[in-house]
Chain A
């Protein structure tokens, strides 16, 4: 651990793979910018890899004041041991107060290992981050300007706010899509700090033999319309209706965690705290009860239409439109209405007269 360092920077781990930055670090830079401004400290990105210097500009455009760049052939592929070592050396050298990581497969491997090495705290899958104050229940000690790490817990039955008052840095992981990415600011300037990598002669315990990447089959984040199903859909066969409605609307298919766990739809489609966070123009959810974990991933949708047989389902609490009914009857009616172009204009007419 490092000592509490009020002048410490806010850091974002800039995850890259084969020289490509994913969206998460850019989203985290947007949030990091807010936090750093509130604390009146610089925002820095931490970039590890081999020949990745070209990415520094993009990180600065997205809000970083400084990029710590650790480049070496040994870092060309992610490995827990080598990456942990370099990140911990950086933390020890510069004593940041906050370190944010994307909750990706890599981030969820790296961040806990770094936290264990530094003996500091780590909160996984935060859905919001704020700066605030904390009073210790036992000692009554009052501390201001702490990172409030907010996440649903316990199957989404509660929302917990976690703090890490004494053993710094304050570390958190955040899923892709949770934070909004701000627009890149062309012409924004910043500093690049090259950090020497001292891994020569270190024997790494892991060797990557093969690496296979398949592009994501679904792009939920880019979809204007999403039709999502939950446990209430009842079966993988019934889920066909969700696909049909999405197809006719030109939308994407989503699923709640329950639907994914039940095997109705693949994990790539999961929306919620431990899946993807989306903000489409229209979110249609069928047979989704509306657990907090799911809501965390879709409640900022512009319009929410809920279809559920249970009129007391919590999903209606955040819906703009609701149909209390069986999706097996409602969806075919919707498809029929949309297909019949004639009745569409009539329907629009009826709506405008209503």
Chain B
């Protein structure tokens, strides 16, 4: 039997290559100043879902919450083999913490009627590893964190979980949500032939922006008509990325965005790493000998 798989993917700032002012004055992340990438472990989550489809059949749908720019990771996922992509985007979702984020996803994902949901273990921008477990709790799916191996028998999943100081094998009743470790698999590369096609996939928000640029001086209704026409064409070719806002997923706004987030930023300190007052030794034989001598003398070593 086939499984309907949903994979949660996130576009994240590449925290290893931060340029410019990383934070805005209100303490939120200035995403514009950062190179954005596919969250690494979400690629492992996608691969695990694709492996399920390879073995058992079914579908793989990727869903991302964020700005329209997150369509980049959705297109990447389509290149790698996902069947369908969904963007959940809404200004009112801004400043959502993990609880609000998992709430919004919990409104969207059941619409796709999945048997299995896959998330990366954690995202590199926050490293919290919270959204996966919280989403499972909210949609009532069995949670299996830290997945390294997966076998399915129609009613349950047999999961090998990496628990840091060893591993555990559990049987989880379906439907289930898995958070996937980077050690679970080797993500397949984007398929070139697929890439030629799906690189043209767009979400309505991207189409609207492109039309805005192309017909800058045209009246609003002309722009709207042109955007609608382009979206219709994309849809015919199967290249329209589904776009949902909070109303589309029937989310209660009280649980979304800043209002729905119990955690608040109290303070942000940028790190100024200044040179310190240390005792310098030259990298020569004599310098090293003096340093070692000093460490021996004060009984730090020896």
User: Does the CB pair A329–B273 fall under 8 Å?
Assistant: no
User: Does the CB pair B288–A330 fall under 8 Å?
Assistant: yes
The answer to whether residues A119 and B295 also contact, given A125-B127, A317-B275 and a CB cut-off of 8 A, is no
A105 vs B163: C-alpha distance when bound (angstroms) = 5
Minimum distance in angstroms from A146 CB to a CB of chain B: 8
Q: Can you list 10 residue pairs at the A/B interface with Cβ under 8 Å? A: A116-B137, A120-B262, A121-B97, A121-B262, A125-B127, A212-B167, A213-B166, A214-B166, A290-B273, A347-B296
CB of B290 within 8 Å of the partner chain: yes
Minimum distance in angstroms from A108 CB to a CB of chain B: 5
Contact of A122 among B13, B98, B144, B172 (CB under 8 A): B98
User: Does the CB pair A316–B168 fall under 8 Å?
Assistant: no
CB of A123 within 8 Å of the partner chain: yes
CB of B294 within 8 Å of the partner chain: yes
The answer to whether residues A159 and B269 also contact, given A119-B262, A212-B167 and a CB cut-off of 8 A, is yes
Chain A residue with the shortest CB-CB distance to B40: A261
CB of B215 within 8 Å of the partner chain: no
Residues of A within 8 A of B (CB): 1, 80-81, 84, 104-106, 108-109, 111-113, 115-117, 119-125, 132, 134, 136-137, 146, 148-149, 153-167, 205-216, 225, 249, 258, 274, 281-282, 290, 292, 302-303, 305-306, 312, 314, 316-326, 329-330, 333-334, 336-338, 343-344, 346-352, 354
A124 vs B127: C-alpha distance when bound (angstroms) = 8
Contact of A344 among B263, B269, B293 (CB under 8 A): B293
Contacts of A338 in B (CB 8 A): 292, 301
User: Does the CB pair A320–B169 fall under 8 Å?
Assistant: no
The interface-forming segment of B128-136, B219-227, B232-240 is: B128-136
The answer to whether residues A320 and B289 also contact, given A113-B143, A157-B18, A282-B295 and a CB cut-off of 8 A, is no
Greatest chain A CB density within 10 A among B125, B162, B285, B301 is at B301
The answer to whether residues A209 and B170 also contact, given A155-B124, A337-B289 and a CB cut-off of 8 A, is yes
User: Does the CB pair B137–A117 fall under 8 Å?
Assistant: yes
CB of B228 within 8 Å of the partner chain: no
User: Does the CB pair A306–B278 fall under 8 Å?
Assistant: yes
The answer to whether residues A209 and B125 also contact, given A84-B137, A157-B15, A321-B278 and a CB cut-off of 8 A, is no
- The size class of the interface chain B forms with chain A is 35 or more
A34 vs B131: C-alpha distance when bound (angstroms) = 30
User: Does the CB pair A163–B172 fall under 8 Å?
Assistant: no
Contact of B273 among A153, A317, A354 (CB under 8 A): A317
A306 vs B102: C-alpha distance when bound (angstroms) = 42
Minimum distance in angstroms from A225 CB to a CB of chain B: 7
Contact of B276 among A157, A163, A207, A317 (CB under 8 A): A317
Contact of B134 among A115, A211, A324, A336 (CB under 8 A): A115
Minimum distance in angstroms from A237 CB to a CB of chain B: 21
The answer to whether residues A348 and B264 also contact, given A115-B134, A155-B124 and a CB cut-off of 8 A, is no
Interface residues of B in 270-302 (CB under 8 A from A): 270-271, 273-276, 278-285, 287-297, 300-302
The answer to whether residues A322 and B285 also contact, given A161-B266, A206-B142 and a CB cut-off of 8 A, is no
User: Does the CB pair B133–A112 fall under 8 Å?
Assistant: yes
User: Does the CB pair A123–B290 fall under 8 Å?
Assistant: no
User: Does the CB pair B293–A1 fall under 8 Å?
Assistant: no
Interface residues of B in 134-190 (CB under 8 A from A): 134, 136-138, 142-146, 158, 162-173, 176
A232 vs B166: C-alpha distance when bound (angstroms) = 30
CB of B261 within 8 Å of the partner chain: yes
CB of B91 within 8 Å of the partner chain: no
Given contacts A156-B15, A158-B271, 16 further A-B contacts (CB under 8 A): A81-B143, A115-B134, A120-B262, A121-B263, A148-B266, A154-B15, A158-B23, A206-B170, A206-B172, A212-B166, A212-B167, A225-B301, A290-B273, A325-B283, A349-B293, A351-B297
